[in-house]
């Protein structure tokens, strides 16, 4: 009787634990996070990058193939920018059309309205992102052995361009691995005049055939200004000459007619060794067969 009671209590306890765990899983809320990034490249090319994430507890994953509508300042039909579909990474790109130029030029700041499309009007959710129109410039100067880079950020306020203070900027040189800082500091902050200055200390960097390097200044994900990027080419590098004899050398990555001699020797040695062994074995088999034929017709007897 005691054993039966113990088993019943154990079963009831296990049922309670499983029920509570299932209830906790069901109680974890799913939260949809939508981020909109505004980009301004060289004060001319402007576009939006939408990022959609579904967060379940501590787990986050991109929302694939999600449809969003983007509006400028108002969710009216005439203010519609575009409809986008997120890719496998939950990202989608949008460009502000020329038809909205008059609305864009009519204000110093704008609000982008992102509407997540649902099966009905009640299921649609919206998010708002506000940015202030801005511009970024880059200038360089050389004095004796010192080269300086000056970046200035301005924002539009009541129709007038004013300095953007306390804006973090990254200044560097474009390389294959990303942006290489021009000195030890990775980022700089604009002063009251909207200016940040850096000294170019990466002396001896290889450039193109004319020795030119591409300087880049970036403002990344600023809450007010978004992403600003400006590029400028400067002759501060070392000219690199194309190596026309690169593929003429006997290397592993060359064509078959420029194979290294040691590799050819190894390959031919293996081939000769394999085929030589096969030919020898075939010869032995033919020899054994001929001996067998001689013993079979009685023309010869094996030695006693």
Are residues 49 and 125 part of one domain?
A: yes
80 lies in some domain: yes
Looking at residue 30, what is its pLDDT?
77
Q: Could you tell me the residue range of the domain that residue 125 belongs to?
A: 30-132
41 lies in some domain: yes
Let me know the angle formed at the C-alpha of 93 by 89 and 96, rounded to the nearest 5 degrees. Answer: 165
Are residues 161 and 85 part of one domain?
A: no
244 lies in some domain: no
Looking at residue 289, what is its pLDDT?
85
Are residues 178 and 219 part of one domain?
A: yes
Looking at residue 49, what is its pLDDT?
95
pTM summary value: 0.70
Are residues 173 and 267 part of one domain?
A: no
- Between CA 103 and CA 203 the distance in angstroms is 46
Looking at residue 298, what is its pLDDT?
59
Looking at residue 292, what is its pLDDT?
81
301 lies in some domain: no
Are residues 188 and 112 part of one domain?
A: no
The structure tokens listed for 41 are 């490249």
Are residues 138 and 128 part of one domain?
A: no
Cβ atoms of 219 and 228 within 8 Å: the answer is yes
Q: Residue 70, Cβ neighbours under 10 Å: how many?
A: 22
163 lies in some domain: yes
Last residue of a domain, one of 132, 163, 192: 132
Q: What are the residue ranges in the chain where pLDDT is below 50?
A: 304
Looking at residue 60, what is its pLDDT?
86
Are residues 200 and 106 part of one domain?
A: no
- Between CA 184 and CA 191 the distance in angstroms is 19
What are the angstrom distances between the C-alpha of 194 and each of 153, 162, 165, 217? 5, 8, 5, 14
15 lies in some domain: no
Last residue of a domain, one of 111, 132, 153: 132
Are residues 140 and 121 part of one domain?
A: no
The residues, any chain, with a CB within 8 Å of residue 124's CB and separated by 6 or more, are 115, 116, 117, 118
What is the number of domains present in the chain?
A: 3
The structure tokens listed for 270 are 């293996």
53 lies in some domain: yes
Alpha helices in the chain (DSSP H): 2-27, 101-105, 261-296
Let me know the angle formed at the C-alpha of 144 by 139 and 147, rounded to the nearest 5 degrees. Answer: 30
Are residues 218 and 138 part of one domain?
A: yes
Whole-angstrom distance between the N-terminal and C-terminal Cα of the chain? 93
Identify the three-state secondary structure at position 66.
coil
The structure tokens 């009831």 sit at: 12
Q: Residue 184, Cβ neighbours under 10 Å: how many?
A: 7
Task: Give exposure, 125-135, as e/b (b: 16+ Cβ within 10 Å).
Answer: eebebebbbbb
Exposed/middle/buried for 179, CB within 10 Å: 0-12, 13-18, 19+? middle
- Between CA 26 and CA 14 the distance in angstroms is 18
20 lies in some domain: no
Looking at residue 184, what is its pLDDT?
87
The structure tokens listed for 157 are 């306020």
Last residue of a domain, one of 68, 101, 132: 132
Are residues 50 and 110 part of one domain?
A: yes
Which domain CATH number covers 175? Answer: 2.60.40.10
Are residues 150 and 112 part of one domain?
A: no
Looking at residue 88, what is its pLDDT?
94
Are residues 101 and 35 part of one domain?
A: yes
Which domain CATH number covers 89? Answer: 2.60.40.1940
The structure tokens listed for 5 are 């009671």
Distance of CA 131 to the CA centre of its chain: 24
């Amino acid at each position: 009787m005691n054993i039966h009671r113990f088993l019943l209590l154990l079963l009831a306890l296990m049922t309670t634990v499983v029920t509570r765990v299932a209830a906790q899983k069901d109680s974890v809320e799913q939260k949809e996070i939508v981020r909109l990034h505004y980009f301004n490249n060289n004060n001319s090319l402007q576009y939006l990058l939408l990022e959609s994430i579904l967060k379940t507890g501590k787990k986050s994953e991109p929302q694939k193939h999600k449809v969003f509508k983007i509006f400028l300042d108002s969710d009216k039909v005439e203010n519609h920018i575009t409809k986008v579909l997120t890719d496998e990474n939950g990202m989608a790109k949008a460009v502000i059309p020329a038809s909205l130029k008059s609305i864009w030029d009519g204000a110093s700041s704008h609000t982008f309205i992102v509407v997540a499309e649902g099966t009905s009007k009640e299921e649609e959710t919206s998010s708002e992102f506000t940015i202030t129109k801005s511009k970024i410039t880059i200038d360089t100067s050389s004095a004796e052995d010192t080269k300086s880079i000056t970046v200035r950020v301005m924002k539009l306020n009541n129709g007038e361009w004013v300095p953007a203070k306390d804006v973090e900027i990254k200044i560097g040189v474009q390389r294959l691995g990303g942006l290489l800082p021009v000195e030890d500091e990775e980022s700089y902050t604009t002063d009251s005049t909207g200016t940040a200055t850096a000294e170019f200390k990466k002396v001896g960097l290889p450039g193109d055939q004319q020795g030119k390097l591409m300087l880049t200044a970036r403002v990344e994900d600023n809450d007010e200004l978004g992403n600003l990027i400006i590029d400028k080419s400067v002759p501060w590098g070392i000219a690199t000459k194309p190596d026309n004899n690169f593929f003429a050398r006997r290397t592993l990555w060359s064509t078959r007619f420029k194979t290294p001699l040691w590799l050819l020797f190894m390959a031919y040695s293996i081939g000769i060794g394999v085929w030589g062994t096969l030919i020898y074995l075939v010869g032995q088999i033919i020899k054994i067969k001929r001996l067998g034929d001689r013993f079979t017709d009685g023309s010869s007897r094996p030695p006693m």
